Chain A
């Protein structure tokens, strides 16, 4: 299809139909994002916004150690959550794709997705109940006489944040991997066995490389949104477990410093996008070297 050729009736009809959702996303996503970018170059003093162009916000983000610390911690937490989630999710996706009867597959997927759709806030809070000082684990273990003092390393710190987020994003990781595993031509695996590979080597040489696009998709779909979560660190993180999203939220809603908040949001987004692109590229190169 050359770009210069006139559109067919069907094409112009499709474009007209797509126009509405596209216009909506443009108006409520692209333009607002542009506004955020613009704001990050302005300053605000309580309610009055000074629209002279300045890099002050970015300078402050770069110079104040707190922002760098929060950003590094956020990226570290998101990275760990991604790693834990994907590693835990892969065997489940593999199991459902390869070992569950076709008629039962949607039931399994449904069971996996249900917790994901149920009140996020309450789920996060429940982890507090589970991991808390008087929580299910501590009170349970004390009852059983296994511990005298409640365990403290599992609440109000980064560990708790990671556990909770890993739980919250689990289905997000399973589905993309599952979809890719489903698409793998089963005769490829038989061919590999036929050519003398063992089950294990077939997995590492055929199944895993072929499912890498799903793994990458899963990693991104977990990594990117976790950066934006302020609920879990707020409830679970305590003082030492706060993340960049909490700072953005504070700047906007409590300190009324939208421009600084905007600059933080832009920096966080650029970091996430950069890491994501790097990750995709590295993975591509690794896959190419494999073949």
Chain B
């Protein structure tokens, strides 16, 4: 019983900052402090028509979209390979591909900055962030898709082959529909990670900032803080929606391929 109380207290601790977001987003005061002074939608209104914000948002959406697609494609390759057969060096190779999951992000950022900028002398832009985000999102994608591919009965695809399909047809007609929920889940998670990622984007961003980099700029101006709160409210709301959809698809995928839900994305 006391454990349950503790767990709930812990959840409150986890959610405390997020709960404050909408409160201050609608608060009619430029200073972020109690007591609250009144309700306003002024801060949300300030977001509309903000050119630099819109361009940052568009950048972030492009980056997140491309990242989601490429990371998921790589994730499909790795998860399918992982479910197929053991080969010499499998653990090492898989471990290496999963490495960005535990690597300090600043290391990823620094090393990519060095290679792209200093060694290759390339200009930074959205594509450099995409390269980096694909690297850090692929392990998450693999983790999600491993669940979908690993739960799949290997004789499903063999049955399709046995019934006259070519390898590609067997994959397209049987495996793909069965792992599709996992793929959607992976797309959404990768999208969310990329949309929120700041540490690497700050290093690799070009002339046009991404949304988190833009927010970082706003944080230095106290007068802008209520607007950041409004923007944050929208972003967090969006993230929660995307994550909920991802979770629903992930679970559906597990039931569809006949597995047991072990819970969680990791």
Report which A residues bind B (CB closer than 8 A): 1, 3, 7-8, 10-15, 17-18, 20-22, 24-26, 28-33, 35-36, 39, 49, 88, 91-92, 94-96, 99, 105-106, 108-115, 117-123, 125-127, 129-130, 132, 134-136, 138-140, 143, 167, 170-171, 175-176, 178-179, 182, 220-221, 224-231, 235, 245, 248-249, 252-253, 258, 261-262, 265, 268-269, 272
Q: A32-B115, A118-B239, A119-B235 are in contact. Are A228 and B74 (CB under 8 A)?
A: no
**Whose C-beta in chain A lies nearest to the C-beta of B15?**
A115
Report which B residues bind A (CB closer than 8 A): 3-4, 6-7, 10-11, 13-18, 20-21, 24, 31-35, 74-75, 77-78, 80-82, 84-88, 90, 93-94, 96-97, 99-108, 110-115, 118-119, 131-132, 134-135, 138, 142, 189, 192-193, 196-199, 202-203, 212, 215-216, 219, 228, 232, 235-236, 239-240, 243-244, 247, 251, 261-266
Q: A24-B135, A114-B243 are in contact. Are A106 and B261 (CB under 8 A)?
A: yes
Which of A3, A14, A245: most chain B Cβ within 10 A? A14
Q: Is the CB of B78 within 8 A of A3?
A: no
Q: Is the CB of B247 within 8 A of A110?
A: yes
Within the assembled complex, what's the spacing in Å between the Cα atoms of A13 and B87? 10
Q: Is the CB of A229 within 8 A of B10?
A: no
Given contacts A105-B263, A120-B198, 16 further A-B contacts (CB under 8 A): A8-B85, A13-B85, A14-B81, A25-B100, A112-B11, A113-B243, A114-B239, A125-B219, A126-B18, A139-B34, A143-B35, A179-B266, A229-B104, A252-B113, A262-B110, A265-B106
> Chain B residues with Cβ under 8 A from A112's Cβ?
11, 14
Within the assembled complex, what's the spacing in Å between the Cα atoms of A194 and B16? 43
Q: A14-B84, A17-B80, A25-B135 are in contact. Are A99 and B3 (CB under 8 A)?
A: yes
> Chain A residues with Cβ under 8 A from B236's Cβ?
118-119, 122
> Chain B residues with Cβ under 8 A from A221's Cβ?
101-102
Interface of A, secondary structure class, is helix
Q: Is the CB of B111 within 8 A of A136?
A: no
Choose from B32, B93, B103, B244 the contact partner of A18 (Cβ within 8 Å).
Answer: B93
Q: Is the CB of A140 within 8 A of B34?
A: yes
> Chain B residues with Cβ under 8 A from A18's Cβ?
77-78, 81-82, 90, 93-94, 97
Q: Is the CB of A167 within 8 A of B74?
A: no
**Smallest distance from the beta carbon of A5 to chain B beta carbons, Å?**
9
Q: What are 7 of the A-B contact pairs (CB < 8 Å)?
A: A17-B84, A18-B77, A18-B90, A20-B77, A32-B115, A118-B235, A130-B17
Within the assembled complex, what's the spacing in Å between the Cα atoms of A3 and B102? 30
Q: A18-B93, A121-B212, A122-B228 are in contact. Are A29 and B108 (CB under 8 A)?
A: yes
Interface of B, secondary structure class, is helix
Q: A95-B6, A122-B228, A126-B18 are in contact. Are A248 and B78 (CB under 8 A)?
A: no
> Chain B residues with Cβ under 8 A from A3's Cβ?
88
**Whose C-beta in chain A lies nearest to the C-beta of B74?**
A21
**Smallest distance from the beta carbon of A147 to chain B beta carbons, Å?**
13
Within the assembled complex, what's the spacing in Å between the Cα atoms of A234 and B228? 18
Within the assembled complex, what's the spacing in Å between the Cα atoms of A134 and B94? 48
> Chain A residues with Cβ under 8 A from B235's Cβ?
118-119, 122
Q: Is the CB of A21 within 8 A of B32?
A: no
> Chain B residues with Cβ under 8 A from A140's Cβ?
34
Q: A25-B99, A167-B13 are in contact. Are A272 and B115 (CB under 8 A)?
A: no
